């Protein structure tokens, strides 16, 4: 059978961190005969080589090569290309992993579109994600019509014949940005590039330890020499104009100005800051014309002006000023949809980190200006102007798995509202909405997801946790749900009360989350039925088996009856026929069981059913229900049950006496 995909993995001292990748490859939907995995071990000194050899011995589609340490992934990847038997090759990092259908979907998409390169949607773990690039699938993406320059990592599908035809390989040796050189060259020379955005194919992991080379401190002169290689590729393949400027903006924005920003830059010693600043400035002055700065965000335009003018001290002050802001997120609405998705509404505003006041923008006529600290000489109005960008600001909902910080970006609609504070300054308030599909988050069972709003505004990118700050429209009691067979338990965290979801819980966890009491269920007197209302949302189309167990007083055996599940907007009602009533008055306890793994024994629902002879008299709260039932309701339940039972017994005695008299 033809090998469709060769997965090439450069490996060095990965240890246990390789196991998620291995498991994801062994679990691919693509048949094992149609893909191969090529591990190239770059002189590991731990137990990794033995682990790889054992894998190769167990699996026919696993190939292992051991080489002396070359210092960087370039050479191992090139060896993988030379060994590849597949039509396509995908480069994976040794501590990342794939989604179950990744290889099959990538290969099919490449076949369907005749693509030389396929960029598949990925999720980040301490890694940025090219959100704009994956807004939609693009069968025929180009550098002109898509933000391809936002994704320069090698985690993509390449046609092997294309790489061999143009002789494209990674730069080798211990060096930085070898993937940028490879990917940018491929972008310019590919006959067709396709972007697959409707499925997360890859999970990109950022390990903040010595095992991840990307987190090691850079040497500024050599680093910017590597950036210059990427810039030279852009210059070689473009003429002066819009496309060249667009492509040059990537290294200017990310590798040049991005290195001179944030807390990490401020934390460096002065000599290192100067070395970084001088090397970045030299590259910008030599290879990137000043007019390219106009396409940057307002916040970065100010930084670019200070960089080109050689004003390191002012740049440091400006960066510090820009850090003193945070995103204040507010949850304004929450509710389940009939299809089992969770709808959220929210708002966000950029505020001063110390005072909590909205961050204001200065005005110059009809223009808004990005705020800056006092500088001498002042920054130009042209650099600070942000009118257009202010109105296009946005917020995005992000789900982050608590166990490993894996992120999913959730499609979000947002709108901006500019507010004048009356003093000549203006602030921006953002409103948005999004729909969470728990089935998308159910890759791992019983995982906890937290939610954040990411605010993008005139060059700022800030995030705020969602839920702790919420309006009165948001319910305080959150209902669990069943969506596509996935059990979901939303809850407010302790102390701060932020919003979190437990996704993929078993039946036992769902049962614990269902808080039935303190009130009674409903009883159908004529039909002889009992109805228990559960605070549970069941998605349309979900077929969930259920039964009610009726426990009679004394020691008789309980009676199990199949329940009919009836949905409405807020709850799920379970209706079941009552068994033939006892001739004497009796109180039956009602318990519930759903046909879910781990549910276990039927659980008390908090409902008592009072029968008398052949009549169904009432439904009462169960005073013995453990959990959320309050002491007050327990007292009320006991008193009501005793009173109704006394009334029923008196009525029974009167009926018997009347019968004897007749």
pLDDT at 419: 83
- The residue extents of the domains of the chain are 1-216, 220-321, 325-505, 516-661
Give me 465's structure tokens: 């946790």
Report CA torsion sign: 228, 232, 238, 239.
positive
CA angle 619, 623, 624 (to 5 degrees): 120
Give the closest residue to 565 by CA, choosing from 540, 588, 590, 589.
540
Q: Give, as one character, the DSSP assignment of residue 477.
A: S
Whether the Cβ atoms of residue 25 and residue 61 lie closer than 8 Å to each other: no
Amino acid 526: pLDDT: 58
Spatial distance between the Cα atoms of 429 and 394, rounded to a whole number of angstroms: 10
In the numeric block, which tokens belong to residue 474?
């948001």
> Residue 631: what are its φ and ψ, rounded to 5°?
-60, -35
Q: What is the pLDDT of residue 210?
A: 43
pLDDT at position 516: 67
pTM (whole model) above 0.85? no
Report the relative pairing of strands 529-534 and 537-538 from DSSP bridges: unpaired
Instruction: Decide: 421 and 473 in contact? Cβ < 8 Å.
Output: no
Q: Which residue has the tokens 């090397």?
A: 279
* Ramachandran quadrant class, 490 (left: phi over 0; alpha: psi -120 to 50; beta: rest): beta
Which phi and psi (to 5°) does residue 657 adopt? -65, -40
Phi then psi for residue 528, to 5 deg, are: 65, 45
CB atoms within 10 A of CB 280: 22
Residue 603 has a pLDDT of 83
Q: Where on the phi/psi map is residue 375: left (φ > 0), alpha (ψ -120 to 50), or beta?
A: beta
Enter the tokens of residue 175.
């060096």
The pLDDT value recorded for residue 623 is 66
Letter string b/e over residues 163-197, b meaning 16 or more CB atoms within 10 A of that residue's CB: beeeebbbbbeebbbbbbbbbbbbbeebebbbbbb
Separation CA 645–CA 612 (nearest Å):
9
Segment holding 587, helix H or strand E = strand 586-594
Report the CATH number of the 1-216 domain: 3.90.550.10
Report whether 251 contacts 235 (CB < 8 A): no
pLDDT at position 206: 72
Query: Average pLDDT of each block of 10 consecutive residues along the chain (662 residues)?
Result: 96 94 97 98 96 97 97 96 98 95 98 98 78 93 98 98 98 95 99 96 73 70 98 98 98 97 95 98 98 96 98 97 92 94 96 89 90 94 93 92 85 89 82 95 88 93 94 92 90 93 90 68 68 84 83 78 75 77 72 86 80 68 53 50 64 63 58
pLDDT (0 to 100) of residue 264: 94
DSSP single-letter state for residue 236: H
């Amino acid at each position: 059978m033809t090998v469709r995909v060769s997965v090439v993995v450069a490996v060095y001292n990965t240890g246990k961190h390789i196991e998620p990748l291995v498991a994801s490859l062994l679990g691919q939907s693509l048949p094992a005969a149609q893909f191969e995995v090529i591990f190239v071990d770059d002189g590991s000194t731990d137990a990794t080589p033995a682990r790889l050899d054992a894998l190769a011995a167990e699996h026919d589609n696993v190939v292992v090569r051991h080489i002396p340490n070359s210092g960087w992934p370039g050479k191992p990847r090139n060896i993988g290309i030379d060994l590849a038997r597949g039509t396509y090759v995908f480069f994976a990092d040794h501590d990342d992993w794939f989604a179950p259908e990744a290889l099959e979907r990538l290969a099919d998409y490449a076949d369907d579109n005749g693509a030389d390169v396929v960029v598949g949607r990925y999720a980040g773990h301490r890694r940025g994600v090219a959100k704009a690039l994956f807004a939609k699938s693009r069968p025929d993406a180009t550098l002109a019509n898509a933000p391809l320059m936002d994704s320069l990592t090698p985690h993509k599908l390449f046609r092997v014949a294309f790489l061999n035809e143009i002789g494209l390989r990674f730069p080798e040796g211990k060096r930085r940005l070898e993937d940028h050189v490879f990917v940018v060259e491929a972008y310019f020379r590919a006959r067709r590039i396709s972007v697959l955005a409707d499925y997360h194919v890859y999970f990109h992991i950022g390990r903040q330890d010595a095992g991840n080379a990307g987190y090691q401190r850079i040497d500024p002169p050599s680093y910017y020499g590597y950036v210059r290689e990427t810039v030279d590729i852009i210059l070689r393949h473009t003429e002066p104009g819009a496309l060249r400027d667009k492509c040059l903006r990537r290294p200017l924005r990310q590798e040049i100005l991005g290195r001179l920003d944030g807390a990490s830059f401020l934390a460096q010693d002065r000599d290192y800051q100067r070395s970084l600043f001088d090397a970045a400035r030299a590259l910008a002055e030599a290879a990137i014309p000043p007019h390219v700065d106009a396409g940057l965000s307002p916040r970065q335009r100010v930084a670019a002006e200070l960089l080109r003018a050689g004003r390191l001290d002012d740049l440091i002050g400006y960066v510090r000023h820009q850090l003193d802001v945070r995103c204040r997120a507010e949850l304004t609405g929450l509710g389940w949809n009939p299809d089992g998705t969770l709808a959220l509404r929210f708002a966000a505003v950029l505020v001063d980190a110390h005072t909590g006041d909205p961050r204001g923008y200065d005005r110059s006529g009809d223009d808004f200006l990005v705020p800056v600290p006092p500088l001498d000489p002042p920054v130009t109005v042209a650099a600070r102007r942000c009118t257009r960008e202010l109105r296009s600001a946005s917020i995005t909902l992000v789900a982050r798995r608590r166990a490993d910080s894996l992120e999913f970006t959730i499609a979000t609609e947002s709108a901006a509202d500019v507010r004048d504070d009356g003093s000549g300054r203006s602030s921006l308030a953002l409103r948005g909405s999004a729909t969470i599909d728990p089935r998308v988050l159910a890759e791992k069972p019983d995982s906890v997801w937290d939610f954040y709003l990411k605010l993008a505004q005139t060059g700022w990118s800030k995030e705020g946790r969602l839920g702790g700050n919420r309006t009165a429209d948001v319910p305080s009691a959150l209902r669990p749900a069943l969506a596509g067979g996935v059990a979901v338990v939303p809850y407010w965290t302790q102390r701060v009360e932020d919003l979190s979801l437990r996704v993929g819980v078993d039946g036992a966890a769902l049962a614990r989350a269902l808080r039935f009491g303190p009130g009674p269920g409903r009883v159908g007197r004529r039909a002889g039925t009992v109805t228990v209302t559960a605070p549970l949302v069941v998605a349309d189309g979900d077929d969930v088996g259920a039964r009610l167990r009726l426990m009679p007083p004394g020691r008789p055996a309980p009676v199990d009856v199949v329940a009919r599940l009836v949905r409405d907007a807020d709850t799920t009602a379970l209706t079941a026929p009552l068994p033939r009533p006892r001739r004497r008055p009796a109180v039956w306890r009602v318990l519930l069981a759903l046909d879910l793994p781990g549910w276990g024994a039927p659980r008390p629902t908090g409902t008592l059913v009072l029968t008398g002879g052949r009549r169904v008299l009432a439904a009462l709260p169960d005073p013995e229900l453990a959990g959320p039932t309050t002491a007050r309701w327990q007292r009320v339940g006991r008193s009501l049950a005793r009173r109704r039972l006394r009334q029923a017994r008196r009525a029974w005695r009167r009926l018997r006496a009347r019968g004897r008299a007749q």
